[in-house]
Amino acid sequence: QVQLVQSGGGSVQVGGSLRLSCATSGSALILADMGWYRQAPGRQRELIARAGWSGETYADAVKGRFAVSRDNEKSTVYLQMNGLRPEDTAIYYCRTTWGRTDYWGQGTQVTVTS
């Protein structure tokens, strides 16, 4: 069973930064096809970043502020979030696709205060 464990959420003031982690105990290959999502109160879940071995894409709302990176030795994918805004407040989820199945992290709360 593939398990994704998230960490790095918290509360930060406007303009601050956070780095979210999404890790698996298995091979880094499990994280080859990654997505980062968020769900704000009263809103639908939205895709904010997608990352594969060949590169990554970002939603307009986060482009230029968020970046995905990897540490294959730790089987971990990161989401670096800079210049945070109140509208970034949401629960953030990572997702990987492995063996034609989607696996999701447990989610982590990010709160941006003004």
Other CB atoms within a 10 A radius of the CB of residue 94 amount to 29
| Upper half-sphere CA count for residue 3 (Cβ side, 13 Å) | 3
Q: Which amino acid is at 15?
A: G
Q: Band of the pLDDT at 53, cuts 50, 70, 90?
A: confident
User: What are the tens digits of pLDDT across the range 68-110?
Assistant: 999 999 999 999 999 999 999 999 999 999 989 999 999 999 9
